[in-house]
Structure 1
């Protein structure tokens, strides 16, 4: 049962005459409120937040996480019983897709970063529920993590770029790459070849040698900025003995470029109305940069000075005049300058502004100019304030003066983003202002160690206390303890349960250093948070659609568990009602039965399937069963969207994560055990490929891209996995297209083969990942003529695994013939979470073998406080000395959030 709390405060914000109330409004204020409440109750807002044990990782690590699934005012969600977690690489391919059961609004899991699958570079962790998929994917949890490689990385690199623009419009980029070995010794006088790659194709290439200090200067030929910034620089350094090491560098930030945007409060500049104007300056990486400058009118008169306050953001005030154009003259950090036109001044209009004169009140000011007052005098206007889809404040007034000012107690609103909207009586949104209300009413979480300091490998006992104000609460929490020396952390840059659920989950676009606003907040941080509200778009809630009864279509209902559904038909296509369907899971010795409805539909709910299991559906126990056909509804896979947090990607991982990678390297070296190597003669086993078929004799000998069978071994349905894993291809409208051509407007599909047999995309729905040996992708058809013959563009070849030929009996042959009334298929089940390993040391014994170099000292996603608001746990320190950091996050049943960080010393 989901609790619904609607606080509708209808109050009079401004004074108005009784005579004015007698006027008939087009849309009564009560109608606006009622429609908003109906929308919120029909489309509750669900969110997912992941608390991960560390901010970054290395190949070979395990990512430990806890998923918090909330609804409405951050209460543990009872809406969804399943949460999905995707791992997406830098080429926008889904590496892993986890399905986890949600209990009491929480789930926990882990992701093992194996060296066979994961390479050094940036990755995305995306989490969502089925219900969330009905709405904008921008509101999924989407977090960028950086993964380094300390195990087999022989070459550490550091790259810097220098760019210059040409008169032709092209851009020239010079790259300086430093090559060193893991011990920090330069690779001097080594030959390096390089390629500029875009969409998997080489644009230009060259070669050179490193100097005595290990530097290589790469002179990238002139290209369009879009060609360079959407590509990557791939280098191969000669290591001797016919061995090379390849490194890939993103060029997203290679071109030095800046941009400045201006955001008038309430959305527009209006003649004669003094307005605040916020601005945001960013570099080509999307990160804020400091600027300074002046605002001048078209006569060159200085109207205001501008300077950044925080992360490229700032604010100034201006009284604009009709007929004048205003220009910002800006100086950037490198000394370059630029000019930007401010938005055009509106001759007639009304503005909405807000500010906080004290901690208890929000002051709202409505300002109109003379022309607007003349035309709209004695007309009614509504002010509505909502947060999380709930209207907390509504007021009505009549326009009789140029400006009105009133105070609204902040106590009317919860902590978080509040959207203030000024409406005309006809229901048109005229102005909007977003503010952040900070009550500092989070849970009072306490973490306390049993001793002031500890020694290495000593047992640590910690106690937890959770209170809402002074009252103890029962809550669900997760705890991570890290070694500060090997995992140095910028706390302002972290994504936390507070920064995500209260701030970034409701905003579109990238938010730089989100925890800055919650990490020891003061007045300066509150002021900068208000500037952020002016520069960042809030688009979760559209009154225009609500008033027009334009509701979002619901394609997927909330999911309480794994469902298996489909339809039973006769061989002639007619649905069969009131028939028996049986479900079997052989490896779990599980069975269940159901009856089809009158339309032949059937559904099994809450099917408990672990990992990837085979399910059998049978309709044999029916009259005339030989003429029955079972059709199973396929599983839906979430489409990929662009990474909204690319500025968090680190190019120079080796240097940025050096303390962590040094420790990871020591861990690996410490854990290695030399084993006896027995050399046996092995028979070369030829792998299936397109070269096995004469049909493909004209194709290039080497595919442009290849997906190995190992990458597909856990894929329940091939078409869904290829839609995200087929590098260089785009999957749209049930067809594959070559990405570069599709983006250029050439929408000609790829020709698909299974072996030498041409098939359509629907055929791939019958193939599972374990059946596939490899997938080859050809962006051109060479001299084969395949594309000319089939009117296609590109070739996709699926090579199935070779089945050994064996003699079988007639009975065995009949058993292999598929029966339409029995269907066996793979399904993605729940991923089973591992237990976090924690060594136990005996303080009375010494000399334990092997150094303990853990960086995650302790992880526990299942801390639950009792009715007294307390809990406790214990763990053993590692061999690392210095400062340890303990982080606890979580919430109680009422949706009150909490986070606490403490440090303790190990000597």
Structure 2
């Protein structure tokens, strides 16, 4: 693998203490770190989307960039997984993206069956990343609005505090109908659900301005994170519409934390202490106040400088407790204790204000100096998982100062660590290096302004300094009038690969630091570095071989593997196994090893392809059983970017939603249809299966087959759609039991026969009549016999009477164990972005209301660093915005923006 080799600079003086028994040479630390990095190379994934938000009915277009180490094109993985996670933290869809030359592309449709208005998460990762938990996953929150058959527009705000202080908590909800009329004096029924269970309910009437107050009784609603307000309001005579509002981030007082530079608040040393104040939503809130000692004496004033962050300087005294008396921008106040003052320690402080150098200072308390006098210490700087700088010194005075040239590093986050000679960390500081070494990407057009539907020819020029760059880029052109968005809040290839992927915690408005940077923004970025943590392994773990070994191999393609055993459990050695993919006219054969294992390497197929694996070509095959290995699905942890969720999508995305309504108007479904006569068709239910006799007559929850229209993978679709049910770690659970810590899974039945999660992957959603959920098994005894809690019954449609049963249908009732037919997750289906060509000037009745005017994930620059592309404008007039992002063959990344006018 191609690596960057950084020169090691030894700054400070050497000491004979270097030879102590607990010492390790700094070269050993560097060598061990290099070995660890070669065994645990860090991959990162970034997704470039065509738009910052969407509406139901849209197609989401994206390109994946896969890098390693200091943003080199990755040579590790050839597959990127992309998951769509719903508002309730459940998996909606999952895709495999093939990677070629470290890039791949895809798209998915936001159909009205699977997607509703709300905030969704898109995460991307490789299997190799699973060795590092979810630390380096790409994770982005995207709002999806809805204008299809919409009767209601709402806006919500929350008030009060559930801790009993001040006003009681509640929600204030504003209603308008689809025409924009205020719904005044309308009856509303509301309820509050927690994980699908109704906790409380009530009724009310909107006031003259269209507002309704919903009280939130905190003695009943104890789990705000899992609770939702659901309302039903009159929109016309005998006609209602529903709207729901999450209480996840509704209540809570602002939080304030203090972070001493280097990690410790040392006595009698001037200290820089950063602070960060956030609302209950996770967004920053301005704060000001004073630092006081134990006697109440004010020792310093402080005030935030950007998004609730700032820093204050004072000299702590030993044996003194300090606290902050703070006042937030919303008028609330708080008293917060600062970290304990330490009289025995050392601090690493950094001045990053100079354009070409880092000014380093190491200061120790008298007690620390006496204990470690003349002992060797190491200063290590890591960038992108690689040691970029190493130095050593002997502690010969309480204060050291030195200068490190920034030319030693590439742009991005570096972690400066001060270590003892046995690699124990004693102080750490994150620093952002900005060397202006990113790609310079320039877009230009053949004209400064255009007419609607006019042809546009554009040129991309990519340079690294003055040298042309060959690279792979993606370009999106959007109608900015219809898709307004704050530039500072953008997630870009620069913000992700250079900043947010290397630090822990949420970063609000990440592009603020990259959008026309100046001295103020650089100072704000340095404060951010003081309040965030580093994602990489501790050097102590690296040096002493405590880093966990990688157990999951990188994917070079799709591998389908399993085990062939005798019915008595013994493995079949050298058994013949055949794989068939009918729609691809593909087949392959392999043999099992001594343990009965087999694998088909790098199989090429797309989503929804049925795959058959058979062992019938073996002697005595009737006594053999195939078991397929399952895919690895990482657990869904709480998002760090929850503050990016938009609670009032109707108002925030109003411009986009109105255009979406016009764009998809032809897709609107007539809601009132009068049927004079129609035969009554009996629907299949659990009552039609003898094995389910004894279940309650009525299911507690039900999902109809109609709701599965447009679903390709039944298993993925129902994970998010079963009300009152939670899916986690390969099992379904009753939500109310799950939240109380009960991990007893539900029993699954398909067509009256016991099944499991793997079997659900083979179910054709078009053949499903309904899915019934039972929170108890009645008098059936199912749960007692299977050690489960609750039942899920998947009811399949019946063929019309008189239709003869096919042999294949009969075999499904009694499947052979030596053959398996299933639908594994394949590669995402490729589709090219459609851009109309208006070559003939004439009047066309259908309006062109596109918001994404052009998208291409495959813009490749040549040796001169240039590429050309063209497209036609839509009917929209105003400002069009072209965004280009990408990476060159040497790992240099860049982003460029170009705007032009359509009159």
TM-score range, shorter chain: over 0.9
- Tell me if 1:903 matches 2:880: no
d(CA) in 1 for partners of 2:488 and 2:33? 36
**What is the RMSD computed on CA atoms of the aligned residues?**
2.9
Picking from 226, 233, 251, the partner of 1:255 is 251
| Cα displacement (A) at 1:792 | 4.8
| Cα displacement (A) at 1:39 | 0.9
Picking from 866, 873, 878, the partner of 1:877 is 873
- Tell me if 1:310 matches 2:306: yes
**Structure 1 residues 636 and 708: alpha-carbon distance in aligned structure 2, compared to 1, 3 A threshold:** farther
Picking from 646, 649, 667, the partner of 1:653 is 649
The answer (yes or no) to whether the contact 1:263–1:534 under 8 Å persists in 2 is: yes
Q: 1:630 — aligned with what? A: 626
- Tell me if 1:570 matches 2:569: no
Q: 1:92 — aligned with what? A: 89
d(CA) in 1 for partners of 2:846 and 2:563? 59
**Structure 1 residues 680 and 117: alpha-carbon distance in aligned structure 2, compared to 1, 3 A threshold:** farther
d(CA) in 2 for partners of 1:627 and 1:183? 67
| Cα displacement (A) at 1:748 | 3.9
Q: 2:698 — aligned with what? A: 701
Q: 1:503 — aligned with what? A: 499
d(CA) in 2 for partners of 1:117 and 1:809? 32
| Cα displacement (A) at 1:400 | 1.3
d(CA) in 1 for partners of 2:593 and 2:253? 62
Give CA deviations for 1:323-377 in whole Å, capped at 9, x if unaligned. Answer: 1000100001122211000001112111111112411111111110111111111
TM-score for the superposition, normalised by structure 1: 0.93
**Structure 1 residues 705 and 492: alpha-carbon distance in aligned structure 2, compared to 1, 3 A threshold:** farther
- Tell me if 1:210 matches 2:206: yes
d(CA) in 1 for partners of 2:501 and 2:244? 32
Q: 1:10 — aligned with what? A: 8
d(CA) in 1 for partners of 2:191 and 2:706? 28
* Mean CA deviation greater in 480-489 or 594-603: 594-603
Picking from 633, 637, 645, the partner of 1:641 is 637
Q: 1:102 — aligned with what? A: 99
Picking from 280, 286, 290, the partner of 1:294 is 290
Give CA deviations for 1:17-53 in whole Å, capped at 9, x if unaligned. Answer: 4x44444443332222122111110111111111101
SS at match of 1:612: coil
- Tell me if 1:401 matches 2:397: yes
The answer (yes or no) to whether the contact 1:33–1:391 under 8 Å persists in 2 is: yes
**Structure 1 residues 605 and 428: alpha-carbon distance in aligned structure 2, compared to 1, 3 A threshold:** same
Q: 1:863 — aligned with what? A: 859
Q: 1:741 — aligned with what? A: 737
**Structure 1 residues 674 and 647: alpha-carbon distance in aligned structure 2, compared to 1, 3 A threshold:** closer
The answer (yes or no) to whether the contact 1:87–1:123 under 8 Å persists in 2 is: yes
The answer (yes or no) to whether the contact 2:40–2:550 under 8 Å persists in 1 is: no
* Mean CA deviation greater in 764-773 or 225-234: 764-773
SS at match of 1:537: coil
| Cα displacement (A) at 1:849 | 2.0
- Tell me if 1:55 matches 2:31: no
The answer (yes or no) to whether the contact 2:635–2:728 under 8 Å persists in 1 is: no
**Structure 1 residues 901 and 815: alpha-carbon distance in aligned structure 2, compared to 1, 3 A threshold:** closer
Q: 1:847 — aligned with what? A: 843
Give CA deviations for 1:111-132 in whole Å, capped at 9, x if unaligned. Answer: 1111222111111111111111
- Tell me if 1:117 matches 2:114: yes
Q: 1:663 — aligned with what? A: 659
d(CA) in 2 for partners of 1:230 and 1:817? 42
The answer (yes or no) to whether the contact 1:6–1:391 under 8 Å persists in 2 is: no
d(CA) in 2 for partners of 1:560 and 1:153? 45
d(CA) in 2 for partners of 1:706 and 1:676? 22
| Cα displacement (A) at 1:689 | 2.7
- Tell me if 1:559 matches 2:558: no
d(CA) in 2 for partners of 1:752 and 1:786? 10
| Cα displacement (A) at 1:791 | 6.3
Give CA deviations for 1:145-196 in whole Å, capped at 9, x if unaligned. Answer: 11111221111111122214565x7972232221112332112221110111
5+ residue gaps, structure 1, are none
Work out the number of aligned pairs and report it: 901
| Cα displacement (A) at 1:240 | 3.8
The answer (yes or no) to whether the contact 1:417–1:435 under 8 Å persists in 2 is: yes
- Tell me if 1:523 matches 2:533: no
**Structure 1 residues 174 and 816: alpha-carbon distance in aligned structure 2, compared to 1, 3 A threshold:** closer
Picking from 446, 452, 459, the partner of 2:448 is 452
5+ residue gaps, structure 2, are none
Q: Residues 435-834 of structure 1: matches in 2 within 5 Å? A: 435-669=431-665, 682-692=678-688, 695=692, 699=696, 701-704=698-701, 706=703, 708=705, 711=708, 718=715, 726-731=722-727, 735-754=731-750, 772-780=768-776, 792-802=788-798, 807=804, 818-834=815-831
The answer (yes or no) to whether the contact 1:170–1:224 under 8 Å persists in 2 is: no
Q: 1:45 — aligned with what? A: 42
d(CA) in 2 for partners of 1:568 and 1:724? 33
The answer (yes or no) to whether the contact 1:171–1:224 under 8 Å persists in 2 is: no
* Mean CA deviation greater in 274-283 or 425-434: 425-434
**Structure 1 residues 405 and 189: alpha-carbon distance in aligned structure 2, compared to 1, 3 A threshold:** same
- Tell me if 1:155 matches 2:152: yes
**Structure 1 residues 291 and 106: alpha-carbon distance in aligned structure 2, compared to 1, 3 A threshold:** same
| Cα displacement (A) at 1:78 | 2.5
The answer (yes or no) to whether the contact 1:84–1:127 under 8 Å persists in 2 is: yes
**Structure 1 residues 186 and 377: alpha-carbon distance in aligned structure 2, compared to 1, 3 A threshold:** same
SS at match of 1:741: helix
d(CA) in 2 for partners of 1:121 and 1:765? 26
